[in-house]
Chain A
Amino acid sequence: MSFFGFSFKPRRATSAQTAKDRLQVLLAHERRGGSTAPDYLSHLQSEIVEVIRKYVEVDDEGVDIRMEKGQDVSCLEINIELPCGATAVRGTQS
């Protein structure tokens, strides 16, 4: 409530401001990405796994992809579990 334009309201992050911030980050990604954005990730994953398989045997279950979208940068995190004593694939096919 304000009296003559003067407000006692403390200046702090309101939930409405949080809502706006979240939408801005999300929509920036969605607009930039267009309609094809999410699809490259599964290709990226399978190609990365393919490359690694040239050297060591990895299980499909041992691949974990996470994404954290931020205001300016996004972070793509790919964890690949190498089984202990992973056997090197003999002779890399060139």
Chain B
Amino acid sequence: MTTQLMEEPPLGRVIVITSGKGGVGKTTSAAAISAGLAQRGYKTVVIDFDVGLRNLDMTMGCERRVVFDFINVIQGDARLKQALIRDKRIETLSILPTSQTRDKDALTKEGVETVLNELKEDFDYIICDSPAGIERGAQMAMYFADEAVVVTNPEVSSVRDSDRVLGLLSSQTKRAETEGADPIKAQVLLTRHDRGRIDSGEMMTVEDVLEILAVPLLGIVPESQAVLRASNVGTPVVLDGPSGAATAYEDAVARLIGEEVQMRVLADRRPGLFQRLLGRTA
């Protein structure tokens, strides 16, 4: 065995994408953020923690290539390298799918820790896609995190659940339980932002949400048709052509790695009258 002195060790940073509430865009965000990080050359792996209801594989478009999964690795039925799926579009991106057939009890704290530690030796960023709720799967996804992205919609139940999750992040995690450790760095990612409805007073503003949650803002993702289209074809939204959502996720990724990027919300380009008459949607 030779050690390569020139090569820097991987960053090995664990980031959980969580929200409490379902359907706010956790998996979409996990896919987009991990693809965005990988696009910048960081070795990135995204893990699905939603045991029994796996969907990250579909969002990433690798559902036909799943052989072994996270639970197989935890239970010793397969090695980690066998379960990792290399993305076909970006060389530095891997996916660790979860089991569709087991239940949440298959996730043990020791098992998750072992897998994460092994991944830290090879990857710069380990993105944990949390299931909805605050039960075992969600607890395991956040327990070992260094950072958290709390996906929130400007809507009452989502904001309330995000607040609950922020409480758990600061109390029920390894960093919270370890004396002297820095707390988890939690940031809010506001999704399904709708300029028009905010202007007409129907939707809470970004400032309203931040005032209530009192954590820094990672980004604002506009409501965008690009999100559904990307999920239809199994492509992370940042890799599916230009859109307001793609730009927002790219900005969020830049902030995640410490760059200063001004907050902006770009709407999707509306098709012109002629285009709409022809019914062409790009």
Contact = CB atoms under 8 A, between A and B. Distances in A.
Interface in B37-82: 58, 63-69, 72, 77-79, 81-82
A54 B99 CA distance: 32
A68 B66 CA distance: 8
Interface residues of B, number: 28
A54 to B, nearest CB: 22
B277 interface: yes
Most central of A38, A42, A45 by chain B CB within 10 Å: A38
B109 interface: no
A94 interface: no
A63 B231 CA distance: 33
Given A30-B100, A42-B72, A67-B65, A1 B276 contact: yes
A26 to B, nearest CB: 5
Contacts of B101: 35-39
Interface string A21-60: 0100110001000011111011001000000000000001
Given A7-B279, A8-B278, A65 B234 contact: no
Nearest to A19: B232
A10 interface: yes
Contact of A67 (B66, B234, B278): B66
Interface residues of A, number: 32
Contacts of B58: 22, 26
A18 B233 contact: yes
B270 interface: no
Contact of A65 (B67, B100, B277): B67
Leading 8 A-B pairs by shortest Cβ distance = A19-B232, A15-B232, A42-B77, A69-B64, A1-B279, A9-B279, A67-B67, A15-B229
Interface of B: 58, 63-69, 72, 77-79, 81-82, 99-101, 228-229, 231-234, 276-280
